[in-house]
């Protein structure tokens, strides 16, 4: 199993960081989501938290007005750019950076030349939102470095917009919200319409959260994500014929959808049905967590996976395999795919005494089935992004 939140730099990296002389050092975490998938952009409910895996940013001003550089220590690659000539055509990771600086400028804040080093122990493409960690970390780091006086919520919102406008994923707000607003040992119960949220203590001992990374990331993830969002909007438009007050699927009762089932294209019906049921599951899961009823919580996780697999159709054979495999063991109360889908991790609610044995079993079975190595790590709820 990988170590938890140990950012271990090589001696060369340590020397590079030492010579750099950062003015601001900031930790920006990834996130897990316990339940409530693809509900955020439907104004619904989610239950994420930041985790103890993150990107560290080292930032300093340079003497230039507009010249900047961002270096990934993991890849030893540097992106140099000019704040006055935003390049929206570069590699994907550079577009997150352009997105953040441009969205900051749109909010009337002025930036000048800066240099940044970053180092990550967040696996990419694993569905634990390395992208939100990147956007929110850079935004929060620049906020600190240039004293921009952006509120945490502004950092969340501008980071989401960076992804919409410069990367092209029409993501909801969950990932950025979790990366910025989380608190150690808590999960967030977030209403994505009002942005009201509750930090709920998360004491699940003797259980633990185990992430199993399929190490696949199917190329459909961005295109199909936007398609799903569009299908949900089509469903809302149709429902507005009978229920003009409906603004998003979050406002729809299951009976309202049922009453018009025959008016729906079956695919759109399934998408809507999944979202409406998933919102109900999140609310039931919140109650189960309050009474420490982890068995019910686990069943709801399995229900979520079934919906994502069959109705929302964002799972893949590797995720389905791991979810089915977990059902063989009573020590696992729940399991489901996590994040946008088409690869990434499953999240497992598992008895802590069974973790190591289960990882060995799952690795073996997964390798036999797909010839791919599974990676595993425990996720601990952690604080949102902060200066260190
Ligand atoms: C991605 C998006 C989120 C959310 C999840 C699915 O992680 O960035 O906004 O929609 O997928 O729940």
- pLDDT for residue 163 is more than 70: yes
Q: Which is catalytic among the residues 82, 175, 191, 383?
A: 175
Angle at 367 between CA 361 and CA 370, to 5 degrees: 135
Contact assessment for residue 257 and residue 273, using Cβ atoms and an 8 Å cutoff = yes
pLDDT digits (tens, 9 = 90+) for 206-241: 999 999 999 998 776 678 999 999 999 999 999 999
CA of 84 to the centre of ligand 1 (A): 31
- pLDDT for residue 360 is more than 60: yes
Give the closest residue to 192 by CA, choosing from 251, 133, 126. 251
Determine which residue's CA is closest to atom 11 belonging to ligand 1: 340
The larger pLDDT score, comparing residue 154 to residue 4, is at 154
Q: Is the dihedral of CA 379, 26, 151, 165 positive or negative?
A: negative
Could you give the 3-state DSSP secondary structure of residue 213? strand
Average pLDDT of span 244-258: 98
Task: Give yes or no: 353 in active site.
Answer: no
- pLDDT for residue 122 is more than 70: yes
Contact assessment for residue 108 and residue 140, using Cβ atoms and an 8 Å cutoff = no
| CA-340 nearest atom, ligand 1 | 11
Angle at 91 between CA 87 and CA 97, to 5 degrees: 60
Cα separation, 262 vs 276, in Å, equals: 17
CA of 353 to the centre of ligand 1 (A): 31
Q: At 14, is the pLDDT very low, low, confident or very high (cuts 50, 70, 90)? A: confident
Instruction: Give the pLDDT score at 7.
Output: 64
Q: Is 38 in the pocket of ligand 1 (CB under 6 A)?
A: yes
- pLDDT for residue 271 is more than 70: yes
Could you give the 3-state DSSP secondary structure of residue 45? strand
Q: At 125, is the pLDDT very low, low, confident or very high (cuts 50, 70, 90)? A: confident
| CA-46 nearest atom, ligand 1 | 12
Cα separation, 99 vs 178, in Å, equals: 19
Neighbours of 261 (CB within 10 A): 11
| CA-38 nearest atom, ligand 1 | 12
Q: Which tokens is 92 given? A: 């994907």
Average pLDDT of span 265-284: 98
Q: At 90, is the pLDDT very low, low, confident or very high (cuts 50, 70, 90)? A: confident
Average pLDDT of span 11-34: 92
Report how far apart, in Å, the C-alpha atoms of 153 and of each of 38, 75, 128, 159 are: 21, 31, 20, 10
Instruction: Give the pLDDT score at 6.
Output: 57
CA of 374 to the centre of ligand 1 (A): 23
Q: Is the dihedral of CA 100, 102, 218, 229 positive or negative?
A: positive
How many CA atoms lie within 13 Å of 386's alpha carbon, on the beta-carbon side?
Answer: 11
Instruction: Give the pLDDT score at 3.
Output: 39
Q: At 313, is the pLDDT very low, low, confident or very high (cuts 50, 70, 90)? A: very high
Q: Is 30 in the pocket of ligand 1 (CB under 6 A)?
A: no
Average pLDDT of span 52-70: 97
pLDDT digits (tens, 9 = 90+) for 172-218: 999 999 999 999 999 999 999 999 999 999 989 999 999 999 999 87
Q: At 284, is the pLDDT very low, low, confident or very high (cuts 50, 70, 90)? A: very high
Instruction: Give the pLDDT score at 368.
Output: 98
Instruction: Give the pLDDT score at 92.
Output: 85
Q: Is 377 in the pocket of ligand 1 (CB under 6 A)?
A: no
Averaged pLDDT of the chain:
95
Cα separation, 339 vs 301, in Å, equals: 13
- pLDDT for residue 155 is more than 60: yes
Contact assessment for residue 384 and residue 179, using Cβ atoms and an 8 Å cutoff = yes
Instruction: Give the pLDDT score at 5.
Output: 54
Contact assessment for residue 368 and residue 322, using Cβ atoms and an 8 Å cutoff = no
CA of 38 to the centre of ligand 1 (A): 6
Q: First vs last Cα of the chain: how many Å apart?
A: 26
């Amino acid at each position: 199993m990988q170590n938890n939140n140990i950012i271990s730099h090589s001696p060369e990296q340590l020397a590079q960081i030492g010579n750099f002389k950062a003015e601001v050092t900031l930790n920006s975490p990834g996130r897990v989501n316990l339940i409530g998938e693809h509900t955020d952009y439907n104004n619904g409910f989610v239950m994420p938290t930041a985790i103890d895996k993150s990107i560290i940013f080292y930032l300093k001003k340079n003497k230039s007005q507009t010249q900047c550089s961002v270096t990934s220590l993991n890849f030893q690659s540097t992106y140099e750019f000019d704040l006055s000539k935003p390049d929206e055509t570069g590699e994907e990771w550079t577009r997150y950076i352009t997105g953040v600086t441009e969205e900051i400028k749109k909010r009337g804040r002025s930036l000048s030349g800066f240099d940044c080093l970053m180092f990550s122990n967040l696996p990419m493409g694993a569905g634990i939102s390395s992208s939100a960690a990147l956007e929110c970390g850079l935004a929060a780091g620049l906020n600190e470095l240039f004293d921009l006086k952006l509120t945490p919520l502004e950092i969340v919102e501008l980071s989401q917009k960076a992804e919409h406008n410069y990367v092209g994923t029409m993501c909801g707000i969950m990932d950025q919200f979790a990366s910025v607003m989380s608190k150690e040992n808590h999960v967030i119960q977030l209403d994505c319409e009002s942005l009201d949220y509750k930090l709920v203590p998360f004491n699940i001992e003797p259980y633990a959260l185990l992430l199993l990374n399929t190490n696949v990331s199917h190329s459909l993830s961005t295109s199909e994500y936007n398609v799903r969002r569009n299908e949900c909007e089509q469903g809302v438009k149709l429902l507005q014929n009978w229920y003009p007050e409906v603004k998003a699927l979050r406002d729809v009762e299951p009976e309202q959808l049922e009453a018009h089932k025959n008016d729906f294209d079956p695919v759109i019906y399934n998408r809507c049905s999944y979202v409406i049921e998933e919102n109900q599951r999140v609310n039931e899961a919140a109650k189960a967590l309050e009474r420490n009823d982890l068995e019910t919580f686990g069943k709801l996780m399995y229900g979520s996976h079934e919906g994502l697999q069959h109705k929302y159709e964002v799972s893949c054979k590797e995720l389905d395999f791991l979810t089915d495999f977990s059902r063989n063991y009573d020590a696992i109360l729940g399991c489901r795919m996590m994040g946008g889908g088409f690869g990434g991790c499953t999240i497992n609610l598992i008895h802590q005494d069974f973790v190591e044995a289960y990882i060995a079993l799952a690795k073996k079975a997964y390798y036999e089935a797909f010839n791919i190595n599974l990676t595993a790590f425990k996720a601990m709820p952690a604080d949102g992004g902060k200066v260190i």
